[in-house]
Structure 1
């Protein structure tokens, strides 16, 4: 029987209604009584509100758990996707850093804990967040969103370990009679993952939903509404006693999961430590084997404990041809998808000169340019990577005099982008978005950043 790792996370976001603080405290007490580690993703404004309200009791208990970030203002417009949709990747990353950085810093200061994971508010996902999060030291993205998917398994994207839309995502509804069905569903999800190194169950709640029958933001910020704080309204509350009754039911559910000897609750930091991808420099034989497998289709490639994204493949081929140590360095995808010029072949000397040029940077991390200048031609990074693989297969030796040699330009395709959805109708995912809100730019950039995607690898327990 495969062991089961449970990630129990809470989006702590309702900074309007102080009543939600009591639910947060009660949930912390419930977990502490069972020795269970929770993952609490707080909105910056919520953390500041806890500080202003003198809730040292809550902050002290949070110190025993893992802290994540859930943006600074959550549903106040413009939300993340709204303000990033018009911007490019590099420009959008800087804007995310500018708007959300203070909340991240406040959260760390107020809780006294490192902020190690992130999840978007509602459905407000955007790829530009990733380099900023990585710069801040965030390692893991944990939430529920299906713009980028990987068959329900953990994956690397944007430099972060992503635990989004996993097979084992579940919650027990806060209605009478839900406990037995939740137990059954938990067992089903465990059984479904018996062939994996270990099962992953991702359980989530919002403290505010134990107090109110409606979400705090839905009654105030739906369909693009942005009323001033003087006009914020309170959602309908649950009947007296229901908050503790449903929190007790959650405790009963946790007790059931702990009755299984194969279950352990962990945080995302421990989850990252379980990942075993080999990031050391590749041997010459490994480089050749990966180059042999590229052809004209470019995606991630795996071999044992090695798994290289498309960007890492470029980095390895580039280093190998320049006579440098072939390290699988993460490279962000380009700003735009542009075609290569209509040329049949390129000069090897020009090719090597092109890859010697420094790469652009985004928040200090290397990024692929839209195109490389190879002699008199412009070549996009997909075609260039496939051509570098062909050059390595031909037996090219670093430093050799290839000034006169030419090589056919391989026209490639980025197959990794198959993990990105084409769906643009995001208003059906979250009531907060304005009506008819469209995100074609976000979708296009999500595909370009699949240069960074690859599966996470784990050893059998």
Structure 2
């Protein structure tokens, strides 16, 4: 069986340039001729336009391909990071659902297909989107974004399987020399993945790339500009005949990749079916083995071919102390990073158990979220310190009447979240000096949900 899996995805987004529709239709025809599945992440407004134009060539051509969602309006302001930046995690998740659900439903209704994956418009990533996507039943996040990176490999974050910023990512360029560079990159990634049981290569472009010299949104929405609909202008076009030329080049590129052997083009749904990290119920000895790996530093762990996020470890440690079923439970990270009042103090194990039993965990769109802190013997204890202290209790075999020094924990997974909050230069649609410090802060807190994805 082919060990190198290729995810070929298209961000379908230009609802202003008429010629972009013909390019989309042409790309679908190329994939039909080559007999491979594509992943089409569609903007809600683009789907509505396609329906209004009665483009049956496109809608029928999507049969056999996977449908993804790419936001409702893409680059019209405020984009998702702009409207979520000043909201908390719970409030932001609800706001994203309110603003973006209609677009998702339109994409599903018009394509007559479920949405399997999502990717943000441009650079407008935000951690609150994950809870809404999970509520909608969208299991995969597919894009090219560098806010959360796990050594260039797929990972779980926010309850979704993430294919973002993979080392083996190729952005197709339909300019002179672009296909030659893509072939060289493909060869290099195939060589790197040759000895892996499963390796992934992520390849993407936009439908408008085949026919446009520039981007439709740069013309109308760059640097925070919100051009009224009646003044929208299409993107500049390539010369006549260029679209057909580059569509043919896409076909040639696909032919080349298939000639390598051990290559299989797959959908995000198929990739999800290959993932094997999700654990079932554990034994007491397995939880003790996991607790033995945690001292001050808390992060994801692997055991017996399964992976566990920090929030899943929290649930397992609490379950063992309270005599509950040892099935890991995902919970979103807390709203804020709290500081324990009891630092430097020793607490009775019985008081820590009482704190766990008495705590009312918050929820985000119906999903569990870790509280900022617990109250043990009248003192506030952060969820981070409490989790590391639970690991110490288990590791030392302490009983209810024993005391334990509170561990001052470190969430080591935060290092997988980028620190730079100046996002304006990263995407031409943002105002040039746009900053997202709250988004960056929350992205770190949500690394409680981060863990490697494992494939077979």
TM bucket by the smaller chain?
Answer: over 0.9
**CA RMSD between the two structures:** 1.3
Runs of 5+ unmatched residues, structure 1: none
Q: Is the Cα–Cα contact under 8 Å of residues 278 and 305 in structure 1 kept in the other structure?
A: no
Counterpart residue number, 1:422: 419
SS at match of 2:57: helix
Match of residue 376 from structure 2: 374
Question: Alpha-carbon deviation of 1:391?
Answer: 1.2
2:432 to 430, 435, 451: 435
Change (3 A) 1:183 1:435: closer
**What CA distance in whole angstroms lies between the structure 1 residues aligned with 2:382 and 2:195?**
40
Report if aligned partners of 1:2, 1:195 keep a CA contact under 8 Å in 2.
Answer: no
Structure 2: where are the runs of 5+ without partners? none
Alignment match, 2:360 = 358
Q: 2: distance between equivalents of 1:281 and 1:70?
A: 36
For normalisation by structure 1, the TM-score amounts to: 0.96
Distance in 2 (CA, whole Å) between partners of 1:177 and 1:355 is 60
- Residue 181 of structure 1: how far off its partner (Å): 3.2
Answer yes or no: is 1:106 the counterpart of 2:106.
yes
* Offset of residue 394 of structure 1: 2.5
Q: State the 1:371 CA deviation.
A: 0.8
1:394 corresponds to: 396
Cα shift readout 1:136-161 (whole Å, capped 9, x = no counterpart):
00111010110000111000000001
Query: Hey, what's the Cα distance between the residues in 2 that align with 1:23 and 1:112?
Result: 21
1:209-224 maps to which residues of 2 (within 5 A)? Answer: 209-224=209-224
Secondary structure of 1:205's aligned partner: strand
Contact 1:2 1:199 in 2 (8 A): no
Q: Aligned equivalents of 1:2 and 1:268: distance in 2?
A: 16
Q: Which moved more, 1:180-189 or 1:82-91?
A: 180-189
CA gap of 1:214–1:272, structure 2 versus 1, over 3 A, is same
Q: State whether residues 355 and 376 of structure 2, in contact with CA within 8 Å, keep that contact through their aligned partners in structure 1.
A: yes
In the aligned structure 2, how far is the partner of 1:176 from the partner of 1:293? 52
Shift of 1:198: 2.2
After TM superposition, the structure 1 stretch with the greater mean CA deviation from structure 2, 276-285 or 224-233, is: 276-285
Q: Would you say how many aligned residue pairs link Structure 1 and Structure 2? A: 454
- Matched residue SS, 1:392: helix
Q: Secondary structure at the residue paired with 2:327?
A: coil
Q: CA-to-partner distance for each residue in 1:287-330, whole Å, 9 max, x for gaps?
A: 01001110110000112312111000001111111111111111
Equivalent position of 2:277 in the other structure: 277
- 1:2 is displaced (CA, Å) by 7.4
| Cα drift, residue 278 of structure 1 | 3.8
